[in-house]
Amino acid sequence: MNTLSIPALQPEDATVPATSPTILVTGATGTIGTELTRILSEKGVVFRVMVRSARDVKKFNTLAGVEVVIGDFNDTATIAQALVGIDRAFLLTNSSEQAESQQLNFVTEARRAGVAHIVKLSQFAADLASPVRFLRYHAVVEQAIKLSGMAFTFLRPNLFMQGLLGFRASIAEQGKFFAAIGDASVSAVDIRDIAAVAAATLTGSGHEGKIYTLTGPEALTHPEMADKLATALGHPVTFVDVPPAAMRDALIQFGFPIWQADGLIEDYAHYSHNEASVVTTDVQDATGSAPRDFAAFAHDYTSVFLTALSSH
Ligand SMILES: NC(=O)c1ccc[n+]([C@@H]2O[C@H](COP(=O)([O-])OP(=O)(O)OC[C@H]3O[C@@H](n4cnc5c(N)ncnc54)[C@H](OP(=O)(O)O)[C@@H]3O)[C@@H](O)[C@H]2O)c1
């Protein structure tokens, strides 16, 4: 691992060494980014990550081929520094009220820096006219990337299977988890498959201009997911449907900002209308491997769910 010296990377006068990475990964400390950086490193790819805190540099100590630069989506000068010498960039932020402007900052700086190809982590059914705020902001950023003239690949994943890990305390304490989704089916996708698609598009060819709608291999209701979790964990797990207002209160109590809690309620309203049950072949098309099913996710994360059980 190599930590970049920021003062050496002024965009105006930087001379980029021949060995300098040409791939930049943002969001590298997050759910998908952690898996993506592991895959790239295992493939022997030399790449750069942009992290916003010096405290996070050590998280990449064990990964070969990684150069770390400190940068913040709210600070365009640091984005410009992170982009020096970059040909392909992976764009990911969390879904906050600032996400749209942060990502538009990045698109502007990427175009200025001469980036050839942006791989953007978007969301299933991104649409400028969607009633779901997350789907609207992703569509705004997708549109800006298209208009920028840079090559693009948009990854539009459905609900993350790993999102259920957020319920592991209530699954451990009560054998229950709660959401406002009714009996609708969702083709949830494993984040390991999303990261594999991101790695393939950042390192391979033929992905320019593609929009990959990333789903798992099946659409399941939440009670069906509960049954599969129960089988893997070896104890009863029940799904409890709750009204949107109750779910919103719980999210706010849990510490979600209002904007985000309201966005999640909009997301779940969209799921509850069975609008996220389509199953695609896009993971297989992009990577050559079939996506993991929910039973595999439940099996592989049993110890994570059971850790929550033993800590209560
Ligand atoms: N959850 C789902 O079911 C779902 C489904 C479809 C699509 N999505 C999309 O997935 C995306 C989230 O992916 P994820 O779960 O992997 O994200 P995540 O775990 O929340 O990670 C967010 C990453 O962005 C970084 N970041 C945040 N603010 C930053 C800033 N100001 N400057 C630099 N870096 C910053 C974080 O760094 P720090 O470590 O410093 O915070 C972290 O690395 C969202 O766009 C969401 O719409 C989610």
Q: Give me ligand 1 centre to Cα 142, in Å.
A: 16
Decide the pairing of beta strands 210-214 and 185-186: unpaired
Q: Is the CB of 31 under 6 A from ligand 1?
A: yes
Q: Give me ligand 1 centre to Cα 224, in Å.
A: 28
Categorize the per-residue pLDDT at 20 as very low, low, confident or very high, splitting at 50, 70 and 90. confident
Q: What percent of the chain has pLDDT over 90?
A: 91
Q: Is the CB of 123 under 6 A from ligand 1?
A: yes
Question: Nearest-CA neighbor of 187 among 263, 279, 57?
Answer: 279
Q: How confident is the model over 97-130, as pLDDT tens digits?
A: 999 999 999 999 999 999 999 999 999 999 999 9
Q: How confident is the model over 280-303, as pLDDT tens digits?
A: 999 999 999 999 999 999 999 999
- Ligand 1 atom nearest to 73, measured from its CA: 32
DSSP line for 273-287: TTTT----SHHHHHH
Decide the pairing of beta strands 88-91 and 66-70: unpaired
Q: Give me ligand 1 centre to Cα 305, in Å.
A: 22
* Six token digits for residue 294: 């929910």
Q: Is residue 263 part of a domain?
A: no
Q: Is residue 306 part of a domain?
A: no
Q: Is residue 225 part of a domain?
A: no
Q: Is the CB of 157 under 6 A from ligand 1?
A: yes
* Six token digits for residue 43: 């493939």
| C-alpha to C-alpha distance for 25 and 47, rounded to whole angstroms | 8
- The whole-number pLDDT of residue 7 equals 34
Q: Is the CB of 137 under 6 A from ligand 1?
A: no
Question: Nearest-CA neighbor of 274 among 212, 225, 219?
Answer: 219
Which residue has its alpha carbon closest to ligand 1 atom 43?
Answer: 27
Q: Is residue 13 part of a domain?
A: yes
Q: How confident is the model over 121-169, as pLDDT tens digits?
A: 999 999 999 999 999 999 999 999 999 999 999 999 999 999 999 999 9
Q: For residue 68, what are the domain limits?
A: 2-158+190-214+279-291
Query: CATH number of the domain that 92 lies in?
Result: 3.40.50.720
Q: Is residue 302 part of a domain?
A: no
Q: Is residue 102 part of a domain?
A: yes
Q: DSSP class of residue 189? A: B
- The whole-number pLDDT of residue 18 equals 46
Contacts of residue 137, defined as CB under 8 A and 6 or more positions apart, other chains included, come to: 95, 99, 100, 103
Q: Is residue 100 part of a domain?
A: yes
Which residue has its alpha carbon closest to ligand 1 atom 20?
Answer: 94
Please compute the mean of the pLDDT values over residues 265-285 and round it to a whole number.
98
Is residue 141 within 8 A of residue 122, CB to CB? The reply is yes
Q: Is residue 272 part of a domain?
A: no
Is residue 247 within 8 A of residue 178, CB to CB? The reply is yes
Categorize the per-residue pLDDT at 6 as very low, low, confident or very high, splitting at 50, 70 and 90. very low
- Residue 231 amino acid letter: T
* Six token digits for residue 108: 């502007």
Taking every pair of Cα atoms in the chain, the longest distance, rounded to a whole number of angstroms, is 62
SS3 assignment, position 12: coil
Please compute the mean of the pLDDT values over residues 209-218 and round it to a whole number.
98
Categorize the per-residue pLDDT at 173 as very low, low, confident or very high, splitting at 50, 70 and 90. confident
Please compute the mean of the pLDDT values over residues 54-69 and round it to a whole number.
95
Mean pLDDT of the chain: 93
Categorize the per-residue pLDDT at 172 as very low, low, confident or very high, splitting at 50, 70 and 90. confident
Is residue 76 within 8 A of residue 104, CB to CB? The reply is no
Question: What sign has the CA pseudo-torsion 282, 197, 185, 99?
Answer: negative
Categorize the per-residue pLDDT at 310 as very low, low, confident or very high, splitting at 50, 70 and 90. low
Report the number of distinct structural domains present in the chain.
1
Please compute the mean of the pLDDT values over residues 211-224 and round it to a whole number.
98
Q: Is the CB of 37 under 6 A from ligand 1?
A: no
DSSP line for 196-239: HHHHHHHHSSS-TTEEEEE--SS-EEHHHHHHHHHHHHTS--EE
Q: DSSP class of residue 188? A: -
Decide the pairing of beta strands 220-221 and 185-186: antiparallel
